[in-house]
A and B are shown apart, each in its own frame.
Chain A
Amino acid sequence: MSHPDKLTAPGGLYRAAIRQSVVKLDPRALWRNPVMFVTAVVAAMTTVLGLRDLLGGASGAGTALHISAWLWLCVLFANFAEALAEGRGRARADTLRATKSETRVRVLPGVEADPGTGVETVSTALKPGQIVYVAAGEIIPTDGEAVRGVASVNESAITGESAPVIREAGGDRSSVTGGTTVVSDWLVIKVTAEPGKSFLDRMIALVEGAERQKTPSEIALNILLVGLTLIFLFVVVTLPAFASYSGATIPVIVLGALFVTLIPTTIGGLLSAIGIAGMDRLVKANVIAKSGRAVEAAGDVDTLLLDKTGTITFGNRMADALIPAPGVDLRRLAEAAALASLADETPEGKSIVDKAREALGSVPALPAGAEAVAFTAQTRLSGLDLPEGRRLRKGATDAVIRLTGKTPPGALAAQVEAIARSGGTPLLVAEGDQILGAVHLKDIVKPGVRERFAELRAMGIRTVMITGDNPLTAAAIAAEAGVDDFLAEATPEMKLDLIRREQAGGRLVAMCGDGSNDAPALAQADVGVAMNAGTPAAKEAANLIDLDSDPTKLIEVVMVGKQLLISRGALTTFSIANDVAKYFAILPAIFVAAYPGLGVLNIMGLASPTSAILSAVIFNALILVALVPLALRGVAYRPSSAAALLRRNLLVYGLGGLIVPFVGIKAIDMALVALNLA
């Protein structure tokens, strides 16, 4: 799944796409793309007329057939772009389908029933509500929720991540996905998916493009393109009347060529490829969109709700400083802190050992015979009892005070308070009943996060940090990470309220979540990303699912959404700007016989009327295929303000769209003359 492109050789992909571009000439398929349908109709018409001329021996049959060949190529190129975009998804779907094999499963009469009482049945016949027993080495038959047991599950078929994950009954890690494998232990699973509607089924349909719905801006753009086609239809259909008034006659084939070059074939031909490729980029990022609408909405997001833990900070506090009590040597404190943490395997404990190493140069090894005292919720202390009787402890301030029966000396007490005020967590270290000093534990902000938020701010996106911390801690981390706002001591209700408030102000909100209590907020948000490891409720409520369960993915989703919209806009602008040059190529060619003076419009100095018309038609087809890579890759997107983006893209695609065809048509004309083709 992570390297699907390797599964299909690029050559095979292209061969399949070329085959598909012919298959897609089926009028029923073409009809869905009005601009290309119209182009095909004109191509068919010019072919018939060209053949008639050829058989009748009329002059100009060669040119007519030449024009119609390029018109057909234009349609084929558009089909090719779409087929290529679909092909990439299909390759991915094939690898997914391979994991979806029919297996025998054991259906239990009840959750607590003995596995031996199970009745064997086929996996494809499972219905929601049925209870299934899956043992180690077996494939989980369909989506469900673990209701009994704990097991490690290999989800690489879905996520591409080979390290197994823990799935257990109850809690936020109960969701299991069909097609994944139980590696150790066993699970009793309650089926949640209808037959054929499992996550895997949906994913296959999605990446194949079969279930692709057009997104709102794609629909609007399609309407505009149809409108422009109609306008140019008026232009071309009325032209013979005006021409005959002026004493000019325009062959129908030339009218057809003029029409096809004027209608927005470039964007019309690439529109669906852009959409498919956009979804594909998401799939590549291991995000599954449940609707195209969500991807587009991601581009519009104004407010990003980010969970502090895992997204902004590493999620575990780390030792930032060691503060000895008055009269205590720093080295003594460091040694005690290190010893008290040696047996502590948590990241917190390890970070204290690391900090002590900085102060001491090296830390003592775990002495033989030492006895670790583990952390419990009752004592809220942990530490080490050495064989010679030293008792080292570290723990929360009040717990250590209770243990030693002493309060920290004045200067230390003030510093402990300062740590708490700054949003950090103070730990006290004691030996016996003597308080040696404090450890400043701090939530460490991930490197690069600050810059990322600055970029988001430049793009006009407000970031809000969501945390369960108290307001003091939250404010300190918010300031350090550079988020615009924070929601402290957040409850699911407060999250929902915040989203509603933002939406009432006209803002679009994106968030990610995994727990069942996140479900209402995920459903309310315009873009809700659920972690794949999350509960079925969360996954159901969200419109995007991140298979990697990485909360920072939200930012990537926003970028993909923006890139999708930008690609469409850029190619539309380019396509429409192209018309200027095409007019200047074709109009003098068709009017110069009636009004020789109109030769001045031939500013490109094209060799002859025939070569001018041919060049315009050929350019029209070639530019389409030349832009296929851009359509599939998406327009380069650097986060910046809308004004800067607009300036840059208007310059590249607007001005470029005006100039490129002048150069291109002239070059083709010169080539045609050199090759004696016109």
Chain B
Amino acid sequence: MTFLAYGLYLAALVGAAWVLALWMTRVYAGALPAGLQRLEGLVFRATGTQPDRGMTALSYGLAVLAFNLAGFLSLYAILRLQGALPLNPDGIAAMAPDLAFNTAVSFVTNTNWQAYSGEAQLSYLAQMAGLTVQNFVSAGTGMAVGVAVIRGFVSAKGTTLGNFWQDLTRSVLWILLPLSVGLGLFLAAQGVPQTLLGAVTVTGLEGQEQIIARGPAAAQIAIKQLGTNGGGFFGVNSAHPFENPTLASNMAQSLSILLIPVAFCFLFGRMAGDRRQGWAIFAAMAVLFVAGLSVIHLAEVAGNPALGQGANMEGKEQRFGAMLSALWAASTTAASNGSVNAMHDSFLPLSGLVMLINMAIGEVIFGGVGAGLYGMLLYVVLAVFLAGLMVGRTPEYLGRKIEGREVTLAVLAFLSMPLGILVGGALAATVPSALEAVQDAGPHGMSEILYAYASATGNNGSAFGGFGAGLTWHTTALGVIMLLGRYAIILPMLAIAGSMIRKTPSPVTSGTFPTHGPLFVTLLILTVLILGALTFFPVLALGPLAEETARAAGQTF
């Protein structure tokens, strides 16, 4: 029964993503219906964009940086000035500078780490014109970079990777907006509020006064899921009944979390002109996803004997139960989404281990929109280079040689993960002003630290709970690490793409390293596990593994 439900979820996901990939292929190739093309032309003219002027990797990267810097500055300004700006019915004051920095970085980098609580610290204007806008364009940035990187690997020999402004506009206009409108309307129909009125004060059954926060939530929730953003309208995110009221809304959101990341696999195959390539990457991601989901499911359903019989329901919503919470936890950490429908702090240690690994390997199990694919291509480059030599040729991927330059860039990008998680985490575990944030003792506290820094480095934004993210040390350090996790991967990956597209693809022969089929999928999975996960084996041993073995011996933290 359970597995039938998971199976149905995966089938629906793959089916929807496969169809979406068809549409995305047309969108990014510019093969749009005439009416949409005219509309798009108007947008380009109004913004003064020369859409068909190709950009080299360098100019593409500079455009990304410039656009995101502008986004950061405007969001930071809104957060600092929200007290004096309109659409603030609850009279919320300006955000503190370090928290505003952290929040602005968080939303611009598609992380959506929430060191604040939305209903208490954000005005409606900040939610709508600040966060929701960044939810769209940070997702659009990821998708544009994803498409540009794909072009570098698959297009005919050339020098340019496409036009950032064109790719961004198309991502937002023809993919994110239509899907969000549909999902937003569906969620509103399920009972998610979408209103500009302030909080209501009611008298509860016990006669006490209660303030119930509300606001323009449905629109933001739709894009938070579709754009792998994850930043909720309310502090407790999709565990809040106003963010995720029903089973139907829960399933719709679960599906939207992975929809575009999965579609990117198929888009890759279609753009490569060899759909097997897309399926191979999908298969590697899917195997890792299902393995993680199985561990979480088994751990949560078995529950914690120390807390009584049955599944582990601590920190979970009764209306979703252990299984749907497990599915959500696996999806949101795999997809760099970060939204939650249950409190991850309360999951069993093995579940926490899986969630940590999902993030620490760099969000490549489907991952963020666009970002998951280019992150996985980083592993592909390393896997092909490591094992590709074993067929007696200079390693090639899709006919293009992987040489010193690509390996250097891949290693550079790869270094950002241990740098962010291990160095960031080690400082957090030693600096006294950072240690205050840790709520629990022993290995569980260690998991809280690791989770925060893995979440920031992987641009996930998911929070473990129990961690005082609001401390100045962490708002600053995590802000810097989010920037590292985003741009220290985007820029080298664009450079790799720019270097690949300059190479003449060699024809496929029986002497070519085959990059589809079970053998390659296994190789890719092992590369992710050995290069990605093993790096974090020592710290994972001190966190969730130590906690699990202690729990098995009857000790809890």
By a beta-carbon cutoff of 8 Å, the part of chain A in contact with chain B is 216-217, 219-221, 223-224, 226-228, 230-232, 234-235, 237-239, 241-246, 248, 296, 299-300, 302, 457-462, 504-508, 561-563, 565-566, 568-570, 572-573, 576-577, 579-580, 583, 587, 591, 594-601, 637, 641-643, 645-647, 649-650, 653-654
What's the least CB distance linking A503 to chain B, in Å?
8
Of A248, A299, A577, chain B has the most CB atoms within 10 Å of the CB of A299
The chain A residue with its CB closest to the CB of B505 is A506
How near does chain B come to A599, taking the closest CB pair, in angstroms? 8
Given contacts A239-B538, A241-B427, A580-B534, contact A460 B387 (CB under 8 A): no
Of B402, B403, B519, the contact of A646 (CB 8 Å cutoff): B519
* A227 engages B425 (CB within 8 Å): no
Q: Do A568 and B389 touch across chains, with their CB atoms under 8 A apart?
A: yes
Q: A573 to B393, alpha carbons, bound, how many Å?
A: 15
Residues of B contacting A230 with CB < 8 Å? 411, 415
Residue B394 lies at the interface, judged by CB distance under 8 Å to chain A: yes
- Residues in A with CB closer than 8 Å to B308 are none
Judged by DSSP, the binding face of A is helix
Task: Say whether B399 faces chain A, with CB atoms less than 8 Å apart.
Answer: yes
Cβ of A579: which chain B residues have Cβ within 8 Å of it? Answer: 530, 534
Using a CB–CB cutoff of 8 Å, the interface residues on chain B facing chain A are: 382, 385-395, 399, 402-404, 406-408, 411-412, 414-415, 418-419, 422-423, 425-427, 429-430, 442-443, 445-446, 449, 504-507, 509-514, 517, 519, 522-523, 526, 530-531, 534-535, 537-539, 541-542, 545-546, 548-550, 552-553
Whether the pair A507, B507 counts as a contact (CB closer than 8 A) is: yes
Query: Nearest chain-B residue to A641 (Cβ)?
Result: B510
Q: In the bound complex, do residue B506 and residue A591 qualify as a contact, i.e. CB atoms below 8 Å apart?
A: no
Chain A residues with Cβ under 8 A from B542's Cβ? 242-243, 245-246, 248, 591, 594-595
In the complex, chain B residues whose CB is within 8 Å of the CB of A224: 382, 385-386, 407, 411
Q: Could you name 25 residue pairs across A and B whose Cβ atoms are closer than 8 Å?
A: A223-B404, A224-B407, A227-B411, A232-B535, A235-B422, A238-B426, A242-B425, A242-B538, A245-B445, A458-B510, A506-B399, A506-B507, A507-B506, A566-B391, A569-B389, A576-B530, A579-B534, A580-B530, A595-B546, A597-B548, A598-B541, A598-B546, A637-B392, A642-B512, A650-B523
Once bound together, how far apart are the Cα atoms of A113 and B392, in whole Å?
A: 55
Contact A216 B545 (CB under 8 A): no
Which of A216, A241, A462, A642 is B514 in contact with, Cβ under 8 Å? Answer: A642
B419: chain A residues within 8 A (beta carbon) = 234
Contact A650 B404 (CB under 8 A): no
Partner of B506, one of A220, A506, A641: A506
- Among residues of B, the one whose C-beta sits closest to the C-beta of A647 is B519
Are A235 and B538 touching (Cβ within 8 A)? yes
Query: For A237, what are the chain B residues with a Cβ–Cβ distance below 8 Å?
Result: 426
**From B387, B504, B537, B541, contact of A654 by CB (8 A):** B387
Is B415 touching A457 in the complex (CB atoms < 8 A)? no
From known contacts A244-B430, A461-B511, A642-B513, infer whether A299 and B393 are also in contact, taking CB-CB under 8 Å. yes
User: Which chain B residues lie closer than 8 Å to A641 at the CB level?
Assistant: 510-511
Give the shortest distance, in Å, between A197 (CB) and chain B (any CB). Answer: 29
Q: Which residues of B contact A242 (CB under 8 A)?
A: 425-426, 429, 446, 538-539, 542
Closest to A653 in B: B390
Closest CB in chain B relative to A443 CB, distance in Å:
28
Docked Cα-Cα span, A594 to B442, in Å, equals 10
- Total of A-B residue pairs, C-beta within 8 Å: 222
Question: Which chain A residues lie closer than 8 Å to B504 at the CB level?
Answer: 504-506
CB-CB under 8 A from A583, the residues of chain B are 534, 537-538
B386 touches A576 (CB 8 A): yes
Q: Is the CB of B530 within 8 A of A296?
A: no
B506 touches A302 (CB 8 A): yes
State whether A245 and B446 are in contact (beta carbons under 8 Å apart), knowing that A460-B509, A600-B549 are contacts in the complex.
yes
Also in contact, A646 and B390, with CB within 8 A (given A220-B385, A234-B418, A601-B541) = yes
> What residues of chain B lie closer than 8 Å to A234, measured between beta carbons?
415, 418-419, 422-423, 535
* A216/B403 in contact, CB under 8 A: yes
The 3 closest A-B pairs by CB, nearest first: A460-B511, A569-B389, A597-B549
Distance A563 CA – B393 CA, assembled complex (angstroms): 9
Q: Which residues of A contact B385 (CB under 8 A)?
A: 220-221, 224
- In the assembled complex, the Cα of A244 lies from the Cα of B428 at a distance in Å of 12
CA distance A568 to B389 in the complex (A): 7
CA distance A468 to B513 in the complex (A): 36
B301 to chain A, nearest CB (A): 22
Cβ–Cβ < 8 Å partners of A220 in chain B:
385, 402-404, 406-408
Instruction: Tell me the bound Cα distance from A576 to B528 in angstroms.
Output: 12
Contact between B553 and A597, CB atoms less than 8 A apart: yes
Are the C-beta atoms of A645 and B391 separated by less than 8 Å? Answer: yes
A300 in contact with B394 (CB, 8 Å): yes
- The answer to whether A646 and B530 touch (CB under 8 A), given A217-B389, A573-B386, is no
Q: Do A649 and B390 contact each other (CB < 8 Å), given the known contacts A223-B411, A241-B427?
A: yes
Q: How many angstroms between the C-alpha atoms of A577 and B531 in the bound complex?
A: 10
Q: What residue of chain B has the Cβ atom nearest to residue A247's Cβ?
A: B442
Nearest chain A CB to B109 CB, angstrom units? 22
A565 and B535 contact, CB distance less than 8 A: no
A462, B446: Cα distance in complex, Å:
58
Contacts of B523 in A (CB 8 A): 650, 654
Q: Given A234-B418, A600-B549, A646-B514, A562 and B387 touching (CB < 8 A)?
A: no
B412 neighbours in A (Cβ, 8 Å): 227
Complex alpha-carbon distance, A382 and B136, angstroms? 90
Question: What is the CA–CA distance of A482 and B395 in the complex, to the nearest angstrom?
Answer: 29
Which chain A residue has the least Cβ–Cβ distance from B404? A220
Nearest CB in chain A: distance from B115 CB, A: 22
A231–B414 contact, CB under 8 A?
A: yes
Q: How far is the CA of A547 from the CA of B245 in the complex (A)?
A: 81
Add 15 more A-B contacts to A241-B426, A641-B510 (CB < 8 A).
A217-B394, A220-B407, A224-B385, A227-B412, A230-B415, A238-B422, A244-B429, A459-B392, A506-B505, A506-B507, A562-B393, A565-B389, A570-B389, A642-B511, A646-B387
Complex Cα spacing A503 to B378, Å: 28
Question: Are B526 and A654 in contact (CB-based, < 8 A)?
Answer: yes
Q: Is the CB of B408 within 8 A of A569?
A: no
User: Which chain A residues lie closer than 8 Å to B394 at the CB level?
Assistant: 216-217, 296, 299-300, 565
What is the minimal beta-carbon distance from B30 to any residue of chain A, in angstroms?
A: 27
Contact A566 B411 (CB under 8 A): no
Q: Closest CB-CB distance, B419 to chain A, in whole Å?
A: 6
Q: Say yes or no: A642 contacts B510, CB within 8 Å.
A: yes
Closest Cβ neighbor of B545 among chain A residues: A598
Q: Which residue in A219, A459, A569 is a CB contact (below 8 Å) of B404?
A: A219
Residue of A230, A245, A460, A643 contacting most chain B CB atoms (<10 Å): A245
Q: Given the known inter-chain contacts A460-B510, A597-B546, please indicate yes or no for A246 contacting B403, CB distance below 8 A.
A: no
Q: In the docked arrangement, what's the CA distance between A243 and B443, Å?
A: 10
Q: A296–B404 Cα gap in the complex (Å)?
A: 14
Interface centre among A242, A579, A587, A601 (most CB of B within 10 A): A242
A570, B387: Cα distance in complex, Å: 7
CB distance from A11 to the nearest CB of B (A): 34
| B299 CB, nearest partner CB in chain A, Å | 16
A569 CB contacts on chain B under 8 angstroms: 386-391
Of all chain B residues, the one with the shortest Cβ separation from A226 is B411
Q: Is B510 within 8 A of A566, CB to CB?
A: no
Cα of A506 to Cα of B430 in the assembled complex, Å: 54
Min C-beta distance of B525 to chain A, whole Å = 12
Expressed in whole angstroms, the Cα–Cα distance for A221 and B446 within the complex equals: 35
- Tell me how far the C-beta of A475 lies from the nearest C-beta in chain B, rounded to whole angstroms: 23
A563 in contact with B425 (CB, 8 Å): no
Least distance between B463 CB and chain A CB atoms (Å): 20
Contacts of A504 in B (CB 8 A): 504
Asked whether, in the complex, the Cβ of A591 is within 8 Å of the Cβ of B386, the reply is no
Contact between chains at A246 and B390 (CB < 8 Å): no
Q: Please pick, from B393, B418, B505, the residue contacting A235 in the complex, using a CB distance under 8 A.
A: B418
Chain B residues closer than 8 Å to A594, beta-carbon distance: 542, 546
Measured CB to CB, the nearest residue on chain B to A456 is: B511
Report the Cα distance A647→B517, complex, angstroms. Answer: 11
- The minimal Cβ–Cβ distance linking B270 to chain A, given in whole angstroms, is 22
